[in-house]
Structure 1
Amino acid sequence: MKIFVTVGNTHYNSLIQAIDENLSPKQYDITIQLANGDYTPKNHEFFRYTDQIDKYFEQSDLVIAHAGAGTVFQLLEEHRRMVVVPNSDRVDDHQLDLASYLEENNLACVCHDFDKIFSAIEQAKSTTFDTYVNQPFWGYGYIDEFFEVTPSNLVGGLPIDIFPTMEDAVNHIISARGDVLPGSAIAINPEKVIQSINEPDTKEAILSASIRYADGIGVVKTLKRKSRQRVSRIPGCELWEALMEKSAEFDLPVFLVGATKETNFAAVNQLEAQYGVNVCGYQDGYFDKSQEQAVIERIVSVQPKIVSVALGSPRQELFIQQCRELCPDTFFMGVGGTYDVYTNKVKRAPLLYRKLNLEWFYRLANQPSRALRQGNLLRYLFLELVRKL
């Protein structure tokens, strides 16, 4: 039996873990979409996000879903057989209300107890459910009237994590207890959004990340318009340094990859002297494809909690993808030219430019060759103006 598990755009760690630990891959063919959840499945195939989720619905015999209104009503309108598991950890009762509606109208099997997920699947296989009819009062009209619809965080088809402050972003990655979120983070700016539209490989690498944060004022403006939330720009170099500082509080082992040998070594020495960071290993970025596996094996051997990779895009994202398969409990971050900025090898824009969100202009003025890349910014601006992002 082919089962597809989806939690939409929000995490539901307990459901993913229960399915992964309680349902055998020998009995069910399960694929899991886990959004930005912390738990990484060990027994079943998984991915975090796709803009082609309809394909997975169509290929499945049964869908297990959280009680998110958008997901549930789409499945109802497509007459999909499903098991709905409301997220009772939420502070609101919307999912429980929707679950009650499904039960009362015999539209789906509802499971409130993770220990009973197996019996819920068996029940859903044999039950004859009533056919859902989309009437004007129900369907998506019902969602708008009775549910707080989650504002869209999609920019050019990429789901972006919204952080009100830098502190929120840091605490999301390293908890107050010193636990590190496994996975990876990728900075998203207008140029990267356009690259993802043009290059499927780049988009796939970006979507494989567990965190995508707005490091570009254009992306921030789009998110504010679409979500109507407070959105802070999270410069990658500042996020990296803040993570390094917090890692030192818990003596978390850190590995640095990338830049020249001189810059890499200077960054290591400065981190140790400034914050007392526990650097368990480092490697400059001047290694070729034939040496890549040896570098990855070195990282695996020391089991760092955080790995920052400064190889430039898209090389650093592709390198991180390979590493994550062997270090599932490690947090990876692509940092571009951050080591050069941190060690003052490259001068960052003055504070005034940063406050006015003109850091991009400062870099362009000091490096005119970047003008060739500004076409992507113009295309992004056009797509934003015509509301196509």
Structure 2
Amino acid sequence: MLAFVTVGSTRFDSLVQSVLEPSVLASLRRKGYTKLVVQCGNSSFELERSLAFGARNLTLERDGVAIELWKFKPTLQEEYESADLVISHAGSGTILDVLRLGKPLIVVVNPTLLDNHQQELASALADLGHLQHSGIPDLAHTIDNFDPSVLKPFPAFDGSRFANLLDEHMGFS
């Protein structure tokens, strides 16, 4: 099975480093994940130099998990679709893309950001049962205890709701 980690266009050093730690790799392996793909963006981490010298990606094996690391791609749609689990920063665009595909999602909030909008979004969606959220120190434990079967499907997009709201605001209804 495949776990995909993304930090989007941000720098989230602690998430990238965390998913490469033996405890997180062991948790992934216990859950049946044998491949880990990490989109690391501009993060700084122990293997970053290998990517800094022009390599498009880096592949290695660690603790029984095949790992592929790369910085950016024009779209992550293919990775989302092929993943059995997505571990992501708490960016709203990424969260919505993954939830709309019905993929199991663990969101990790970046504590270095200035405001807590990511925490609020992650907590609200976790409270609704659509995803699981975690902090960096708890990631291995979260993976060990994560049961995707209890997640509630995210509602399908309904563009008419926005149109109706706009019509009401403009006095057309």
Q: Structure 2-normalised TM-score?
A: 0.71
Alpha-carbon shift at residue 124 of structure 1 (Å): 2.9
1:4 alignment partner AA: F
Give ranges in structure 2 of 5+ residues lacking alignment. 48-59, 163-173
Within 5 Å, which residues of 2 pair with 1:241-260? none
Alpha-carbon shift at residue 118 of structure 1 (Å): 2.1
Aligned residue number for residue 39 of structure 1? 45
Change (3 A) 1:49 1:40: farther
Between the aligned partners of 1:54 and 1:125, the Cα distance in structure 2 is: 23
Aligned residue number for residue 115 of structure 2? 92
Percent identity, aligned pairs only, is: 27
Aligned residue number for residue 167 of structure 2? none
Aligned residue number for residue 151 of structure 2? 129
Aligned residue number for residue 107 of structure 1? 130
Contact residue 107 and residue 130 of structure 1 kept, 8 A: yes
In proportion to residue count, which structure has more helix?
1
Alpha-carbon shift at residue 126 of structure 1 (Å): 4.5
Q: How big is each residue's C-alpha offset from its partner over 1:116-143, in whole Å with a ceiling of 9 and x where there is no partner?
A: 21232233344421111135579xxxxx
1:56 alignment partner AA: E
Regions of 4+ moved over 6 Å: none
State yes or no: 1:118 paired with 2:140: yes
In proportion to residue count, which structure has more strand?
2
Instruction: Give the match's secondary structure for 1:72.
Output: helix
State yes or no: 1:67 paired with 2:90: yes
State yes or no: 1:14 paired with 2:14: yes
Contact residue 67 and residue 85 of structure 1 kept, 8 A: yes
Q: Which has the larger radius of gyration?
A: 1
The alignment yields a C-alpha RMSD, in angstroms, of: 2.2
Between the aligned partners of 2:102 and 2:124, the Cα distance in structure 1 is: 16
Instruction: Give the match's secondary structure for 1:92.
Output: coil
Alpha-carbon shift at residue 115 of structure 1 (Å): 3.0
Within 5 Å, which residues of 2 pair with 1:321-332? none
Contact residue 82 and residue 124 of structure 1 kept, 8 A: no
Between the aligned partners of 1:135 and 1:123, the Cα distance in structure 2 is: 33
Alpha-carbon shift at residue 78 of structure 1 (Å): 1.4
Within 5 Å, which residues of 2 pair with 1:258-269? none
Alpha-carbon shift at residue 52 of structure 1 (Å): 3.5
Change (3 A) 1:90 1:76: same
Alpha-carbon shift at residue 84 of structure 1 (Å): 0.5
1:23 alignment partner AA: V
Between the aligned partners of 1:125 and 1:61, the Cα distance in structure 2 is: 12
Instruction: Give the match's secondary structure for 1:24.
Output: helix
Q: Higher RCO, 1 or 2 (CA under 8 Å, sep at least 6)?
A: 2
Alpha-carbon shift at residue 110 of structure 1 (Å): 0.7
Contact residue 109 and residue 134 of structure 2 kept, 8 A: yes
Give ranges in structure 1 of 5+ residues lacking alignment. 139-389
